[in-house]
A and B are shown apart, each in its own frame.
Chain A
Amino acid sequence: MTKPITLLQAVNLAMHRAMQENKDVVILGEDIAINGGVFRATENLLESFGPVRVIDTPLAESLIAGMSIGMATQGLRPVAEFQFMGFIYPAFDHIINHASRMRHRTRSRLQCPLVFRAPFGGGIQAPEHHSESTEALFAHIPGLRVVIPSSPKAAYGLLLAAIDSNDPVIFLEPKRIYRSIKEKVDDDGKRWQLDQARKVKDGKDITLISWGAMLHETLEAAQQLEKYNVSCDVIDLLSISPIDMIPILTSVKKTGQCAIIHEAVKTCGVGAELIARIQENAFEYLKKPIARITSPDTIVPYAANEQIFFPNAAVILQNILKHFNIG
């Protein structure tokens, strides 16, 4: 009988599995080998696969990205960890100018099968620069896949698929739920589809769309909405680029009401993109403007005050009640 495991353990399990299956998979990053990663996502990989495949790099993020690209062009499948999303920005030059374009600009002579993992988002009282959700920056770049798991099962299935993929994948791990949610995960090597959203709750009145850690706050709000006789479809996006619009449009055409919930700040967030696409494709079905429930357009407060910044189930509920004139 498999024991329930955390999202973090599922990430670790997927990497063990991928390395066992394929010798081309190598893991690199800062403090990922002997230390097992600052969150322990890479724990025991060094012991199982040795220092040539599990590589502690010098402390340089541009190096991690740039060398991963070089490795990928020669047939390796690097899975690189960026210790926190807040420190991935030195690697942008490589992500945007090279990883996303290598296949395209060589007309598939070379490809870039790499995964860049990074814990993101707030809620763990971490220091400055450790709590942002800037996933939309990556979703704006053609040629990248941007994947965000919301549960241990999703993390396992999606990370294996990301490592298999011959496209560069940004794999963002919501660290707030790294250890707070447990699920039974069969280590059966089963891959999830990389660009398929999933419906996690069925309803008829409002479509709620979210991803990552906010999915759980959204589900809790949806639960509370039942008391008001409001039932919600809840969609877990899983991939913010590309976006799987099919279940979203199906749901919105049914409910005619939609709210998007994300932890990232409001302006130019993925929510804006979703709203644009929904109105392009289902405008005539909408009974009300689409609601956006997000963090405000300001800097994430330091740990002492961060809890007032992020949406939570109560905030989501209040916003939905007000926006849709419920109760």
Chain B
Amino acid sequence: MKKERIKSIILIMLIITNLVLAEKILVNEKLWLSGYNFFVITRNNRKKNTVSVTESLSMPEKIIVNTGYQSSRFIYTRASENFASINGTASEVIKSAFRDTKSALQISRDDWYSALTAKSLYLSFSCSLTPDIYASFLGISALEVPISEFSDIVIGENGNVYLGGSNSYCKISASSSLISPIIQSAAEEHSDEESVINYSFDLNFDKNSGDESTVLSPMILIYSEPVTAFTVIPQNPAEKDGQVNEKALSGVLPIFGVNKSSARSYTEADGTLVYVENNGILKISPSGILTFTARGNGIKLQGGSDSSKIASFIDSVNRKMDIDADICLTFASISDGTAHFEFDYGIEGYPVKYKDACAFSATVKNGYLTEYSQILRIFNVTDNLGTSPDFIQALDNVIASYRGSLQEMRITKMYPAFFDGLSNEEISIDWNIDVDNVLAQ
């Protein structure tokens, strides 16, 4: 009996030793060819549910449902409950229209305005897109349309699709019955409210008249009421006690090809953490600004088109940093094998702006990421309701600040936005105003 017990103990010990030695071989990456270790790969690839940049590439920043009356236009931001379903339907109508663009023809600005102010859906994008880039977002073949860039799409109640650029417009004749129910539904949903949203051209704010030396771009929305939104507290996930939190970054370093245990790293005088690897230099500042600059080719990206490569990459970084925010495209350019994209964060349907910088910037050349920058941010929405200044008041303030230095002032963009000064303080909704300087003559 005693002998049996000893045998059992020896057997158990041998089994445990076997498991430990096997674990050393199976889990230790260094004893396997790089990338071959199944267990290591599965350990490193846990997925999280976050907003996908890939899905949001083709999304407009906002959709305005025009019921045909100036007093009943309804804005749906990305945070609105019905935004996804309206956008989904709009995308189907657009894709259907884009299948046959032979009927596409250039139209006048007045025709564009007519389409916009009739019963329609207006999709407003944050940046100008070429037809090819937009087609790649939708996963369809390149478009042949008589317009080189557009930032606005209008879908008429009957399914006609209109593309609007800064000074050129085109119409693609199509037919669809999907838009009418959306317009009707919006009207019913908001039947007890009056939403007065004018476009700048509605009120002739886009025209120089008499002594008035300030003009607004025609598509700027004129809000009759201040905008309300919950205040937000931005947080730098890569910072702890004023220093870069290396532990928080450990998950994101491998995405940039940095092996933390063997990478050359150092801290600069201002506290910026720098990792130097063969494929590039990664820097993270204490204020949460992450930059990657390639040495040689850069980081080889997986995926289809350049836009989906970049979107997937951003999704990976955000997953590792637990960043769960809407990401909105603000600039896109593809030329000679080089693609450059810029994005903003979006909170509660409004963009978050930074001084002289965008939240994300990425350049891909021949399938390799050569440059990348991101302002690492987590946004905590509070229960406090904030109100923006009155639209006209905000406009007057900007005009007053420029008066004297400019003879004519053109407001190219004006929209509600949050401003993050990188100080982790509570921020309230405000107005973003872009001015095109026209110098005194």
Note whether A and B form a binding pair.
no
